[in-house]
Amino acid sequence: MIVCMLREMSRYRGLSKNLDIAFDWLSQKSWKTLAAGKHPIQGDEVFALVQEYATKDPAVCRFETHKKYIDIQMIVEGEEIIEAMPAEFLKSAEPYVTDIEYYSAPAGHNAHPLAMVPECCAVFFPEDAHRPGLRIGGEARQVKKIVVKVAV
């Protein structure tokens, strides 16, 4: 897992060709005017999902992992908490289908809370379970987010 501001992403160049493509695309900031939906960057290897939603109570949010794609999640507007922890500590609640597996949050779990603000990026690799969309301070907030899907 990597967590940093967009302006610092270049220090992680060289991890993979597809990540470099995603980092370059994010740095160009052409995402600022994109509407909600799927946007191609480089075919099925790298693409962006623009999402708009209200943050939720943790009771309705689940941890997830992906095997085929690395997630780069970046807030465009608003704020949320994303919790993260190694997937090996979680029990599958909904088996892997179409590149997503859901997990139950164990009682008293020790996930890392990530305070996500505009242009804050979190890179989740296949072993990184993450639970996005959580409210801050119990209050729902509107969020616009880009999730760049990067083929492993």
Q: With pLDDT > 70 as the criterion, what percentage of the chain qualifies?
A: 100
As beta bridge partners, residue 23 has: none
Positions of E strands within 56-127: 63-65, 69-77, 80-86, 91-97, 100-104, 112-116, 120-124
Per-residue pLDDT tens for 55-73? 999 889 999 999 999 999 9
Residue-level pLDDT at 51: 97
Evaluate if residue 137 carries a pLDDT over 90.
Answer: no
Its pTM stands at: 0.93
| Residue 104 pLDDT | 84
- The rounded mean pLDDT for the chain is 94
pLDDT tens digit sequence for 75-127? 999 999 999 999 998 989 988 888 999 998 777 778 999 999 999 999 999 99
pLDDT number for residue 56? 96
d(CA 3, CA 78): 17
Residue 142, pLDDT score? 97
Alpha-carbon distance values, 117 to 70, 114, 122, 132 (Å): 20, 10, 11, 13
Domains and CATH numbers, the chain: 2-151 (2.60.120.370)
Q: What is the pLDDT of residue 105?
A: 76
